[in-house]
């Protein structure tokens, strides 16, 4: 038996791990252990995802909890070492680019366990973004680098990573989206908020550059007031974002907007349901850029850069930055155009990425 330990820590990891676990279950030669660091630790941020994505409960829960990023990272390292030493996996798998990802990669490297990184090679080329360091460090520790797009392969090769370690397999996030797309759409979550298909915007906002700085957050709330005058907005608020809004007094201002609907974080199925019928999605998330591309929904990314350029070159994503005037100009252009879907689905985003990953692992 080949022992495979798979690490998750934050909500985006769960969608990716779900695809891998489903694919690997079809191979009798593998036995798996799922480890959850507890980086996202409350029910809103992860428990419902285990239920909806049909994920098994973690074999190991590290429970690192509510600490500063550096404290969380240190606690992950300390908690992982004895688990790795006891079970002695033949392969350690990390996904994405969160703090749990890079700490899992470092722990595996230090105890001599081969490492696979799923979603390797993504680069924003912005060293002010914490996730950029996580991506780079994880990739340079990995023995197997599974990429979502050809540009990711190019990034890795430029950094000197040997070509024999790099495998272009497609996007496991898309595997899960396609697997649950029909059941999510059937939820018709827009009806719960008295919204109409193609008659509302969906907003997510959580990146430190947008919410941790008081001036930036105020600018985002002012932008939301302008969007509110154009069409209804549904805004599931990340716990960190809600805390910043409350601390700055901006939550009260947000509550005065007549057609802005604020909610706690939503489950996977409800969120995909809302996304699938939105007129436009505004976000600073990485994965949502990919999901909107597959769903054919226009996406305005509220950032100055993206590590997923394929969603711009081939998909429905537009990088609009954080200047409200520019964002509103692009939004008005979009709202004045027909609602027909545009863009194309990138290469190998076909729902079989995890299967390709497991096939590669099975023959090595």
Q: Domain for residue 342, yes or no?
A: no
The model's confidence at residue 44, banded by pLDDT at 50, 70 and 90, is low
Q: Are residues 136 and 281 in the same domain?
A: no
Cβ neighbours for 211, distance < 8 A, ≥ 6 positions apart: 205, 217, 220, 238, 240, 241, 244
3-state helix, strand, coil in the chain (%, to 5): 50, 15, 35
Q: Are residues 205 and 294 in the same domain?
A: yes
User: Which residue carries 């924003």 as its tokens?
Assistant: 124
Amino acid 42: pLDDT: 63
Number of domains observed in the structure of the chain = 2
The parent domain of residue 28 ranges over 2-170+349-362
Return the active site residues: 206
Amino acid 295: pLDDT: 97
The model's confidence at residue 318, banded by pLDDT at 50, 70 and 90, is very high
C-beta of residue 98 within 8 angstroms of C-beta of residue 13: yes
Q: Domain for residue 355, yes or no?
A: yes
Q: Are residues 158 and 190 in the same domain?
A: no
In tens, the pLDDT along 345-363 reads 999 999 999 999 999 999 9
Amino acid 40: pLDDT: 65
Q: Are residues 218 and 358 in the same domain?
A: no
Amino acid 68: pLDDT: 84
In tens, the pLDDT along 276-299 reads 999 999 999 999 999 999 999 999
Q: Are residues 45 and 156 in the same domain?
A: yes
**Spatial separation of the C-alpha atoms in residues 335 and 21, rounded to whole Å:** 40
Q: Are residues 268 and 241 in the same domain?
A: yes
Q: Domain for residue 343, yes or no?
A: no
C-beta of residue 84 within 8 angstroms of C-beta of residue 113: yes
In tens, the pLDDT along 174-207 reads 999 999 999 999 999 999 999 999 999 999 999 8
Q: Look up the CATH number of the domain holding residue 103.
A: 3.40.50.2000
Q: Are residues 240 and 326 in the same domain?
A: yes
Amino acid 47: pLDDT: 79
Q: Are residues 144 and 192 in the same domain?
A: no
Q: Are residues 144 and 240 in the same domain?
A: no
pTM: 0.96
Mean local confidence (pLDDT), 55-70: 88
Q: Domain for residue 27, yes or no?
A: yes
Q: Are residues 207 and 316 in the same domain?
A: yes
User: Residue 5: left (phi > 0), alpha (psi -120 to 50), or beta?
Assistant: beta
């Amino acid at each position: 038996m080949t022992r495979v330990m798979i690490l998750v820590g934050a909500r985006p990891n769960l969608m990716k791990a779900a695809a891998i676990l489903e694919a690997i279950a079809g191979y009798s030669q593998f036995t798996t252990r799922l480890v959850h660091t507890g980086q996202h630790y409350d029910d809103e941020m992860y428990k419902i995802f285990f239920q909806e994505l049909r994920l098994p409960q973690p074999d190991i829960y590290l429970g690192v909890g509510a600490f500063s990023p550096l404290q969380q990272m240190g606690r992950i390292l300390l908690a992982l070492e004895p688990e790795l030493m006891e079970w002695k996996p033949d392969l350690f798998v990390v996904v994405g680019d969160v703090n749990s990802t890079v700490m899992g990669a470092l722990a595996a490297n230090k105890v001599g366990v081969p490492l696979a990184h799923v979603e390797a090679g993504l680069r924003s080329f912005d060293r002010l973004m914490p996730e950029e360091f996580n991506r780079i460090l994880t990739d340079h520790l990995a023995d197997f680098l599974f990429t979502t797009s050809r540009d990711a392969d190019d990034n890795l090769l430029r950094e000197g990573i040997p070509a024999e370690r790099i495998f272009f397999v497609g996007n496991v996030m898309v595997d899960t989206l396609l697997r649950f797309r029909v059941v999510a759409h059937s939820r018709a979550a827009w009806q719960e908020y008295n919204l109409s298909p193609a008659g509302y915007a969906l907003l997510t906002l959580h990146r430190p550059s947008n919410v941790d700085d008081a001036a930036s957050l105020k600018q985002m709330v002012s932008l939301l007031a302008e969007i509110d005058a154009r069409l209804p907005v549904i805004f599931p608020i990340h716990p960190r974002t809600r805390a910043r809004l409350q601390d700055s007094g901006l939550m009260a201002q947000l509550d005065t907007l007549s057609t802005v609907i604020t909610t706690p974080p939503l489950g996977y199925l409800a969120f995909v349901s809302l996304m699938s019928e939105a007129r436009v999605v505004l976000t600073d998330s990485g994965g949502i850029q990919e999901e909107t591309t597959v769903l054919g929904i226009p996406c305005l990314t509220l950032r100055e850069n993206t590590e997923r350029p394929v969603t711009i070159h081939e998909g429905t994503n537009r990088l609009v930055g954080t200047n409200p005037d520019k964002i509103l100009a692009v939004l008005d252009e979009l709202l004045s155009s027909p609602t027909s879907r545009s863009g194309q689905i990138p290469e190998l985003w076909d729902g079989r990425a995890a299967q390709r990953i497991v096939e590669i692992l099975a023959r090595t």
